[in-house]
Structure 1
Amino acid sequence: MTLPRRSPCPIACTLDLIGDRWTLLIIRDMMFFDKQRFEEFLESPEGISTNILANRLKLLEELGLVTKQPYSNHSRRMNYQLTPEGKSLRPVLKVMAAWGLKHVEGTKLPSIPTSERS
């Protein structure tokens, strides 16, 4: 998927793809909390609405950051998983978390399964 570019700046181009207020939180939930299903994303404390969640999951799939597969006989029930390209955002999220812990008062890391802490 190619989106219009404001400039050739790699930061601007990356923000055009994943810089809204929800996309990285969905990736966070997949990466660190093993969420895969629509209903699981809705349980996150940030309170994403269903229409925005559906839109962002579709966008992430179009960008090649997420794949989906049905998990039951119902064709609309999907499991979402990060692709290798989506997983490559791990260092970005870890640096953002470290920055927030250092510079944003009152932040803390939620419990993350031990297997995902590296």
Structure 2
Amino acid sequence: MKTIERRSTCPINYSVEIFGDKWMLLLLRDLMFNGKNSFLEFKASDEKISSAVLTEKLNTLLNEGIVTKITSPKNASKFLYMLTEKGIELVPFMVEFLNWGSRYNPNGGPKTLLEKIEKNKKKAIAELQDNLRSQRHSYTNNPSDAF
């Protein structure tokens, strides 16, 4: 297990060392908002991450305990990446990032989710977190029901 060598004990530094590049935030976006959880699904994203970079970033998320990797119940040669509770705790941060980006990006963002956030941000965050927990639970505890 490769660990990140920390430059300091500063909490912001800790966060930046994990999430300080675009790929990590885009992987979190895909896990949280786009329902993606396999290597090929991540590769199919519009941003065109390379296989080597994707492998490196997924391994970092695994090593940091933000995602867990399970064997697909439908295909034993396929792995699925699911957010852990530590990863699910990042939902409020990602919602704020999404909200800020949609406000200043002329192309907007996912309208249905943004409308939910605007109407009741706290409820939208709770629903997202509950859905992610349910998804993880269905994959890990009832594999036959997951697909």
Same fold (TM over 0.5): yes
Equivalence for 1:60 = 61
**Aligned mates of 1:6, 1:14 — CA distance in 2:** 12
Question: What TM-score, normalized by structure 1, do the two folds share?
Answer: 0.83
Equivalence for 2:106 = 106
User: Are 2:71 and 2:80, in contact at CA under 8 Å, matched by a contact in 1?
Assistant: yes
Gaps of 5+ in 2: 118-123, 125-147
**Aligned mates of 2:59, 2:32 — CA distance in 1:** 17
Cα RMSD of the aligned pairs, angstroms, is: 2.3
**Aligned mates of 2:36, 2:95 — CA distance in 1:** 18
Question: What TM-score, normalized by structure 2, do the two folds share?
Answer: 0.68
Q: Return the letter of the residue paired with 1:16.
A: E
Aligned pair 1:28/2:20, yes or no?
no
User: Are 2:102 and 2:108, in contact at CA under 8 Å, matched by a contact in 1?
Assistant: yes
Higher normalized contact order (CA 8 Å, seq sep 6+, divided by chain length)? 1
**Aligned mates of 1:70, 1:87 — CA distance in 2:** 20
Instruction: Indicate the SS of the match to 1:64.
Output: coil
Size of the aligned set, in residue pairs, is 114
Identity %: 35
Of residues 68, 73, 77, the one that matches 2:76 is: 73
**Aligned mates of 1:86, 1:18 — CA distance in 2:** 12
Cα 1:107–1:9 shift into 2, 3 Å: farther
**Aligned mates of 2:38, 2:111 — CA distance in 1:** 20
Deviation at 1:2, TM superposition (A): 4.9
Deviation at 1:99, TM superposition (A): 1.6
Moved more, 29-38 or 2-11: 2-11
Q: Return the letter of the residue paired with 1:106.
A: P
Instruction: Indicate the SS of the match to 1:100.
Output: helix
Gaps of 5+ in 1: none
User: Are 1:33 and 1:112, in contact at CA under 8 Å, matched by a contact in 2?
Assistant: no
- Which structure is larger by alpha-carbon Rg, 1 or 2? 2
Q: Return the letter of the residue paired with 2:42.
A: F
**Aligned mates of 1:43, 1:112 — CA distance in 2:** 22
Instruction: Indicate the SS of the match to 1:22.
Output: helix
Equivalence for 1:14 = 15
